[in-house]
Amino acid sequence: MDSLSSSSLSPYYHIIFTALAFFLSALFFLLSRKSKSRKLNLPPGPPGWPVVGNLFQVARSGKPFFQYVRDLLPVYGPIFTLKMGTRTMIVISSADLVYEALIEKGQIFASRPRENPTRTIFSCNKFTVNAALYGPVWRSLRRNMVQNMLSPTRLKGFKNARDIAMDKLVERIKFEADANDGAVWVLKNARFAVFCILVAMCFGLGMEEQMIETIDQMMKTVLIVLNPRIDDYLPILSPFFSKQRKEVQEVRKQQIELLVKLIEKRRNAIQNPGSDKTAATFSYLDTLFDLKIEGRKSAPSDAELVTLCSEFLNGGTDTTGTAIEWAIARMIENPEIQTKLYEEIKIVVGDKKVEEKDMEQMPYLNAVAKELLRKHPPTYLSLTHAVIEPAKLGGYDIPTDTNVEIFLPGISDDPKIWADPMKFDPDRFFTGREDADITGVTGVKMIPFGIGRRICPGLAMATLHVNLMLARMVQEFEWTAYPKNSKVDFSEKAEFTVVMKNPLRAHIKPRI
Ligand code: HEM
């Protein structure tokens, strides 16, 4: 999911790096000619310079990485190689290749690559579900998250947190609209609502809105310093980045300081039942305090708890918020879809507030949500995979320590798989004309949550959050363009997820 754009580099650095690149190219040219990779049958790719490879082409293109990849598809096909300094990236983008890698050869492709130094700090040396190598640590952490936190029974237990967050969302939207002539920002509000749910699930503590905002701000700062830098690909340049490295240490320190206070508070609440009246009966932290990790004697340290909690909060916030922003944009663009959805909600729940139990009786809502995740998968590049041993894919060699990137729209926009794929059309699912198994087991057609051993463990919760928020937002308000009669701009922009380039501001009218 890495992106590297020239905007992160000052012009001054460009000059230094270009000069250095020439110097390094000359120096290492002979070595690289002899290098082992020449004997490998790697997928084709754009020619690059020795040593730096395609790194500067990507950085100087000015395009987000997903766009760079998209533009290469017609030239190099569904599997190609990019040399990014010392990293080799193999990008795959067809259903067949993804099926071969993640289902047929699922175990071999189930690992993660080496991490850059910044990520190593924030992941406590790969002590998270998403970053752990395929092995005992990953199994222990993932099993705990799936069984003790995200199982259907556990999910039901957090209904109260969802109800509170949904009511708060409606209230915030009304308040913002009242103060702004009916206009509201969509992503900001949806993100915050889902963040409130995840914070409640993670820490099990009652919290003022101000504190939730502070944690949210902290998470955003972390995501910014996690953005890849050029020295992640060319470690020889790291002496130029000592200031940035200090900043990383500082942000990590602040993150630990902030979250350890909450961890302590929860520990206290569990050890002294009844002492904190706001404390919930259960939280993700509770599952982690004494967690047994295969091959390890000690339970997670405080720093590791901070890392695991951050993973839980980050995994589901921007992804779900982004989905809602695109959803509302599509509702505005297609008022007939919005009306059909509203009619379904009214028929099923009447004048009551829409609740999660109602969702099973709403096939149109489910079709809209599915079409949304097909057309707008919140991340275009899945988390990076790596092989546990040298492997073959599509007849090419995939060495270990190679980044295997999966470009999701290559599959969900493929006209060989979908009729009129660029059209947003929930009816394709509603009428049963087309269908897709998003777990990929019976075939790959759309994979917004990835597939195989590393499939997103939050799939069920995320789907519930998207459906619930969308249903509630459409039940409460009629959404139209702001300014009136303007056209929604569907341009994309890469942040942690792929958001709308011009953040969506919409006009609302309360329905009741
Ligand atoms: C609409 C919302 C979401 C989308 C689109 C999404 C998408 C994804 C994708 C594409 C992956 C990578 C799969 C792979 O490596 O092949 C992933 C992994 C992951 N997601 Fe999600 N996700 C969402 C919500 C959540 C939520 C709510 C959580 C939990 C709180 C979560 C936690 C994780 C974790 C821990 C992983 C790593 C799994 C592993 O490496 O074993 N995600 N997600």
For the segment 422-443, the average pLDDT, to the nearest whole number, is 96
Residue 182 lies inside a defined structural domain of this protein: yes
Residue 287 lies inside a defined structural domain of this protein: yes
Residue 1 lies inside a defined structural domain of this protein: no
Q: Which amino acid is at 179?
A: A
- pLDDT band (50, 70, 90) for residue 6: very low
Q: Which residues of 394-413 are buried (b: 16+ CB within 10 A; e: fewer)?
A: bebbbbeebbbbbbbbbbbb
Residue 406 lies inside a defined structural domain of this protein: yes
Q: Which atom of ligand 1 is nearest to the CA of 454?
A: 41
Joined together, the tokens standing for residue 283 give 């939280």
- pLDDT band (50, 70, 90) for residue 9: very low
**Bond from prior residue into 483 cis (ω within 30 degrees of 0):** yes
> Ligand 1 centroid vs 145 CA: distance in angstroms?
12
> Ligand 1 centroid vs 129 CA: distance in angstroms?
10
The pLDDT of residue 8: 40
Q: Which of 66, 376, 316 is nearest to 194 (CA)?
A: 316
Judge whether residue 101 has pLDDT over 50: yes
> Ligand 1 centroid vs 320 CA: distance in angstroms?
10
pLDDT in tens, 456-493: 999 999 999 999 999 999 999 999 999 999 999 999 99
Residues with CB under 6 A from ligand 1: 129-130, 142, 311-312, 315-316, 319-320, 323, 378-379, 382-383, 448-450, 454-458, 461-462, 466
Q: Which atom of ligand 1 is nearest to the CA of 132?
A: 40
Judge whether residue 23 has pLDDT over 60: no
Judge whether residue 411 has pLDDT over 90: yes
> Ligand 1 centroid vs 388 CA: distance in angstroms?
21
pTM value is: 0.93
Q: How far apart are CA 333 and CA 479, in angstroms?
A: 10
Pocket test for ligand 1, best of 154, 197, 456 (most atoms within 8 A of CB): 456
Q: Is 456 annotated as a binding residue?
A: yes
pLDDT in tens, 124-171: 999 999 999 999 999 999 999 999 999 999 999 999 999 999 999 999
- CA-nearest residue for atom 16, ligand 1, is 450
Question: How many CB atoms sit inside 10 A of residue 433's CB?
Answer: 10
The pLDDT of residue 18: 55
Q: Which atom of ligand 1 is nearest to the CA of 322?
A: 1
Residue 56 lies inside a defined structural domain of this protein: yes
> Ligand 1 centroid vs 94 CA: distance in angstroms?
20
Residue 157 lies inside a defined structural domain of this protein: yes
In the chain, the number of structural domains is 1
Residue 50 lies inside a defined structural domain of this protein: yes
Q: How far apart are CA 5 and CA 61, in angstroms?
A: 8
Q: Which atom of ligand 1 is nearest to the CA of 447?
A: 10
227 Cβ contact partners less than 8 Å away, ≥ 6 residues apart = 3, 8
Pocket test for ligand 1, best of 107, 324, 449 (most atoms within 8 A of CB): 449
Measured in whole angstroms, how far is the alpha carbon of residue 454 from the centre of its chain? 13
Tell me which residue range forms the domain holding 333: 6-510
Judge whether residue 3 has pLDDT over 80: no
Residue 342 lies inside a defined structural domain of this protein: yes
Alpha-helical regions (H) of 206-360: 209-225, 230-233, 242-271, 284-289, 302-333, 335-349
CATH number at 443 reads 1.10.630.10
Residues of the chain with pLDDT > 90, as a percent, come to 90
The pLDDT of residue 47: 97
- pLDDT band (50, 70, 90) for residue 28: low
